[in-house]
Each structure stands twice: as C-alpha cells, then as structure tokens.
Structure 1
Amino acid sequence: MQKLVKRFEMSLKTKWAPLMAAVVWGLCAVTPLRAQPAAAALANPHEAIYMYKSADREAWLLERAKKEGGLTLYTSLSPTESGPLSAMFEKKYGIKLTIWRGLSDGVVQRVVNESRAKRHVVDVVETNGPEMEILAREKMLSEFYSPHLVDLPQGMIPKHRLWMPDRVNFFVVAFNTQKLKLEDLPKHYEGFTEAKWKGRIAIEATDAEWMGGLVNSLGEQRGMTFFKKLSDQKPDVRKGHILLAQMVAAGETDVGLTIYNANAQSLKQRGAPIDWVPMEPTLARPQGVGVVRQAPHPHAAALFADFIISPEAQALLNSMGRPPANQKVKSNLNNFNYVLTDPGIVVDEAEKWNQHWTRLFLTK
C-alpha cells in the first residue's frame, strides 16, 4: 500500500491524477492494511466462470446469464455506436444490456468510486487503453477467456491479459474538404511547421500522449524540435476529440492534427465535408474491454466480452467507422502502416509528457 501511495504522489501532475487519487484512497478506505491477508484481498470470485473453456462455452454462459437477468456496461463509446451494439447483443441473446456512457476518465472515476463504496454495479468496462490499464493495475479487472482471442493482434494484448483490445484509435490528420484537397497536405507532420499553416491548424488539449508517441518514434532530438516549432505556430487548442473533428467539419479550422480517425470517419459517412489521412508516423492506440472482478452478473459479463470481440460485433463497429481489432474483419480503417503505442508506457510516462505539453501548448 505504501508503494501505491508513493506512486499516487508522483502522479499528481499527470492526466490521471484524479483517477489515481480515487484509486489510492478508495483502496485505503475499503481495505485496511491489516484487515485481510494479501491472497484473500486479491481473490478472484469469478475466475472459473471467466476462464471456462469447454466447447459448450456460449450455451453454458447464456443459460446462466439469463438467470442473472441482465448486465451493466460502462463505456466511452458514443451512443451512436453503443446503441446499435446493444441492440445486436439483446436481439441475439435476449439479455438486457444497461449502458452508462461517459468520457474515459469519467468511466474510470465511476468504477473507482463504486468500488470504494462497495457498490458492485458494473459488469464490463470498455474504454481507452490507458484507462483500462489503470483499472487493471488496481486489480479491478479479471482475465477472461474467449475463443476469439486468437483473432486479435497479439502485440496489442497486454502481458497481464486483464483486458483485451476490441477496437483501435488512430491519431490522424483530418481536413475540411471545402478548404483543402488531399494533395495540399504535407506527407509528414513536420510539414505543418511551415509558415503557410500558421492559423490553420488545431490540436486536442489532452494529447500529451500523442506527443510522447511521436517523440519516441522520431527520436528525442528530432521529435522535440518538431514540437517546439509546432508550438511557435500557435495551433488552436480545444478539449474533446469529437469537438475537434466537428470543428474541422464546420470549417472553424482547416486541419486537425490529433484527430481520432473514427470520429472523422463517422462525420464523413454522415455527409460532412471532412476527410482524413494517416500521417507519418501514424500512432495507434488499442481500446479495450474488460470484465470486472466483482461483477454482479459474471456469466452475462463473460458472454458480452465474447460478443464484442466476435467478428459479428466487430463488423458492426467497422460499419460505423470504428476500426476493429479482430483481424478476421477486413477494414479500410486500419489498412496502412502505423506505430502501436503501449498503454502501460503511456501511463508510466504521463507526467513527463504532460509537463512538456503544458509548457508548449497550454500556457501560452
């Protein structure tokens, strides 16, 4: 526990400081230092359910899930995607899916607060990889088996296996098609440091993660030189990736440099004047799904985890502009070269890159 508190103190300036605070003090409140042996505190009450591997897995889970009466999902997926996904699941299995939706940090905060209060409500969590990593490190998730795990990119699966990738976010460049053509764009991010782009570009306020990934990819000297020059361009800084994509589509800015391709693709498919391009180097961040260790409906939780990474659900995500993780689903949304970021490293290096990001883009 002392090590956990120390890590919390070191993370006070990071993007996840409020979440780590809730985790640390929540655990202190729930589990006194001398209350239980360590093994008992970390016992997994649903391990046999989550790791059931027999050939009748789906039927076995479904029979028991129906007796549980439903399940609850916490996710950062927008309602335009989570709604159809829920409808498909309910139609296929006849099990009611209750969804609470929030931004990724809000999802983690809610899980932490409920754990602290010993309110076991949520069964499955689905959100950004780094936030899933926080929950995994604090032992709130459980490893689960699925016959579809073999179809996932093995490099995206964390070594601890406490959550699994279900979709991928790519940081891409999006542009307003009424103001620019594809051939007007540079081939590399460094091209946006040219004078002609000043006043025409925007970035998202919390994307220190993107900065860290680019610097790690390009090398410290080249990467930091780029970001210092980009800072001199004084890009418009807005909070919210959906908002940033909407700004580009509305023509409020010509180009967004840190757009999630799923957000741009969703607007494009609805007829908005926006398009996107993977810019070298294109960063990819896995999004994840995990079953909760203390889930009140563990059979239904395992059934939904199987479902969301199945080809059927992954094809639905792909049709809505969300790049799928399952490699059986062929997609034009991930058919390009990219650099995969490690959510664990993102969390570990958050303080460093947040300090650089704040100095260059948030305090001028």
Structure 2
Amino acid sequence: MSRRDSARRGAAALVAAAGLMVLAACGGGSAPTAGTGAATGPVDPAAAAAEGEIVLYTPTVDASNTALVKAFNAKYASIKVTINKQGDSALTPLVEAESQTGKGVGDVYLTADPGFIPKHVDMLAPIQSTARKDPAYSPYVSRDAKSVVVQVTPYGLAWNTKTVPGGLKSWNDLATLDPALRIGVDDPSVAIAAGGWMYLMNQKFGPELLCNMAGAHKVNLYPNSSTMQQALASGEIDVGMPALSTVNALKASGAPIDVAFPDPVFAPTISATVLKTAPHPQAAQLFVDFALSAEGQQAFNAGVYSVPSGIPGTLGNISQIADRIDTSAISAADMKSTATNFAQCRTKS
C-alpha cells in the first residue's frame, strides 16, 4: 500500500472511529418531525435563488465563516446567509429542539463534533452535491451521504515571543514551562473539540502533563480558540492551547506570537450537514455544494487543511497529514470526565 493510500485510509479511520464510538455510547436519536421537506435530485441554483435565504449554524472561526459566505455571495448574490456562530454544545440542542418540534430555523450545520452525526443521522438530509462522489471527498462522506468533511483544523501550541523567546517545539515542553507564565486554554466544558483534544493529550502523554501544568500556573479558560488567541496577542497570556493556524494571521499583523504543530497532530474535522427541517432546503444544498467546490475550499480553508489537493492558500490537504493524526475514538462521557478532571486540577493552583 502506498503512503498516500495509507494516509487517506488513516483520515477516514479518524472520522469513522470517533463517530462509531459515540454512537455506541449514546445510541440513536429520536425521529424528527418533517419540516418543509428536504431537497431531492441534483442541486438546483434556480430553486435555491427562489428560496433566497440560508441560516448557517457553525462553531468555526469567524474568519473562515465570513470568507466562505463572502465567496458564496460573490457567485449567488441573491441568497442571504445569516450566520449563527456558537459552540457545538450550544448548537446541537438547537438542532434537536427544531427536529422535535418540526419548526426548523437552521439550514446548514457545520459541526466539529464527530458524535453529532451518528447520533442525529435521522435529523439530516442526504447531501445532493455530486462532489461527494469525487475521489477526493468519497473517503470522508458518512453513511447515507448525510455529512461530508469540508475542513481539517490542526491544533497547535502558541506562545508570546517576548515572554517565551525560545519558543515551544513539543507537547512535552508544557512540563518545563516557567511557573510565572500565564496559560490560556480553550474551556473543554464549552468547546467540544477542545475536550477531545484534551482527552487525546491525556491518552498520549498521561493526565499528569496537563494537570501538573494547570496546578503550577495561572490558567485562564476561553470559550474558543479565537478568543484565546486574541488574549495571547494582547499580552493577557503567554502560552495558549489548543491554538489554530489562524495565529499566523495575527502574527502577520504584527502581534508578537508564534505557533507550532507538534506530533501527534490533533486535528478535528469540520463536517457539513443539511438539516432535515431546513426551511430553505434547496439553498442549503447549494451552499454545501459551493463549500465543496475549489472556490469554496479556498475561501473556507485559508491557513488550514482542505480536503482536495491543489487549493491555494491552504496548509495542504487532508491526505498529507492523515497518517500523523491521532485516530483514537472519543466518547461524550470521555470528554465530560476530562473537562471535570481538568477543572479539579486548576483548583490546585
């Protein structure tokens, strides 16, 4: 088997393993009440334009959301896109409530929670875009074609170059940080993907690494990586994690910060779904179709990893890092207990 084939299978295993583990732990969801009805057949731009609107649920960073919507509207100017940006822990209950009542508000849900899809598969409509059958995407399409990976965001370690002039190269460097340094961490009880990152860190390096760090330093919790990185750029903290490659945009603007992505790469995937109760199902399908296009991938994935290769402005494509991504399965119970344990570690400081 070639390294490229091994990489592709490794990434597919990452998506499948995480999802199946949560399915076994959580069981199936309740059957949704039908909304306006899912789109059937090929993506229809004319029908999408007639609907004229999309509500996008997304936990991803503002820069990615804004760039994707801007590029979409450059091509489909008549379709208004309203962004509802919150963490998966807040968005999933919205989706569940809309499914139970049959009163849909959201149309497209971009989720970083691998457990959402297998648990809520009956709340999702099949993706109509023909791009899902493309060899670049087909390994990353869920069963029943109800979700498709659209982004891979590696988690890294960021620091203030003034207070940490030597930089950081390994996750093990967290064990030898100057106790005077202030640490910023995504709150694992709020950011689901951060909870997964913390769980995998504990599995790879032992729970003592992060727990001892939390006990030895002043640790600030942030609702997401974007907020944490702004705090790092402003000098509120000295080291931040898990950091995104969007740190590089702050660095380019003059902020005294840098970022590294040590092995193993902890990289949550962002998957696109169309909700079965979507009030604008045709427009929702068109939006996902655009997100899978080369234009959409370039806009959405600036500074991170795209799914297909050859996308300008990205770090590369998923197959290039698939064999470096940890493929451990994570359950909702694992992430909850990890967040609880980390909170207890912080009380020791």
State the TM-score bracket (shorter-chain normalisation): 0.7 to 0.9
What CA deviation, in whole Å up to 9, does each residue of 1:94-140 have, x standing for no partner?
4313313221233223323333333122221123234xx32651322
Deviation at residue 249 of structure 1 after TM alignment: 0.8
Same amino acid, percent of matched pairs: 21
Q: Which has the larger radius of gyration?
A: 1
Q: For residue 307 of structure 1, what is the aligned residue in structure 2?
A: 290
State whether structure 2 residue 270 is matched by structure 1 residue 287.
yes
Q: Larger relative contact order (C-alpha < 8 A, sep ≥ 6)?
A: 2
Counterpart of 1:265 (choices 248, 265, 288) is 248
> Mean alpha-carbon deviation: is it higher for 278-287 or for 199-208?
199-208
* 8 A contact 1:45–1:294 mirrored in 2: yes
Q: Does 1:237 align with 2:220?
A: yes
Q: Displacement of 1:307 after TM fit? A: 0.5
Instruction: Give the match's secondary structure for 1:196.
Output: coil
Give the alignment of 1:113-124 within 5 angstroms: 113-124=97-108
Contact 1:172/1:278 (8 A) holds in 2: yes
**AA matched with 1:355:** T
2:339 aligns with 354
Query: 2:172 matched to which residue of 1?
Result: 190
CA distance in 2, matches of 1:198, 1:179: 10
Pair 1:62–1:339, CA change in 2 (3 A): same
Q: What count of residue pairs does the alignment treat as equivalent?
A: 310
1:173-206 per-position Cα deviation (integer Å, ceiling 9, x unaligned): 111233334xx23432112212535534332222
Code of the aligned partner of 1:352: S
CA contact (8 A) 1:317 1:323 kept: no
Q: Against the structure 1 CA distance between its residues 358 and 201, is the aligned structure 2 distance closer, same or farther, given a 3 Å change threshold?
A: closer
- How much does 1:91 deviate? 2.7
Cα deviations by residue, 1:278-321 (Å, 9 ceiling, x for unpaired): 023220000121011122222221111110121111112233x3
Cα separation, partners in 2 of 1:301 and 1:208, compared to 1, 3 Å: closer
Return the letter of the residue paired with 1:106: A
- Structure 2, unaligned runs of 5 or more: 1-25, 189-193
Aligned to 1:208: 195
Name 1:227's counterpart in structure 2: 210
TM-score between both structures, scaled by the size of structure 2? 0.75
**Which sits farther off after the overlay, 269-278 or 288-297?**
269-278
**CA RMSD of superposed structures (Å):** 3.3
Distance in 2 (CA, whole Å) between partners of 1:232 and 1:72 is 42
Confirm or deny that 1:339 pairs with 2:321: no
Structure 2 Cα separation of the partners of residues 126 and 293 of structure 1: 14
Q: 2:169 and 2:304 mapped to 1: Cα distance?
A: 24
Give 1:340 shift: 4.2
Which residues in structure 2 correspond to 1:7-156 (within 5 Å)? 45-46=37-38, 49=40, 52=41, 57-58=42-43, 61-104=44-87, 105-130=89-114, 133-134=115-116, 136-138=118-120, 139-149=122-132, 150=134, 152=136, 156=140
| Aligned amino acid, residue 287 of structure 1 | I
Q: 1:117 to 1:282 in 2, by over 3 A?
A: same
The question of whether the paired residues in 1 share the 8 Å contact of 2:106 and 2:279 is answered with yes
Gaps of 5+ in 1: 1-19, 32-40
Residue type of the alignment partner of 1:114? E
Structure-2 separation of matches of 1:203 and 1:166: 25
Q: 1-side partners of 2:200 and 2:263: how far apart?
A: 12
- Do 2:169 and 2:260's aligned partners in 1 also have CA atoms closer than 8 Å? no
Q: SS at the partner of 1:199?
A: coil
After the TM superposition, which of the residue ranges 246-255 and 155-164 deviates more from structure 2?
A: 155-164
Looking at structure 2, the residues matched to 175 and 248 of structure 1 have their Cα atoms a distance apart, in angstroms, of 7
TM-score of the superposed pair, with normalisation by structure 1: 0.73
In structure 2, the residue matched to 1:254 is: 238
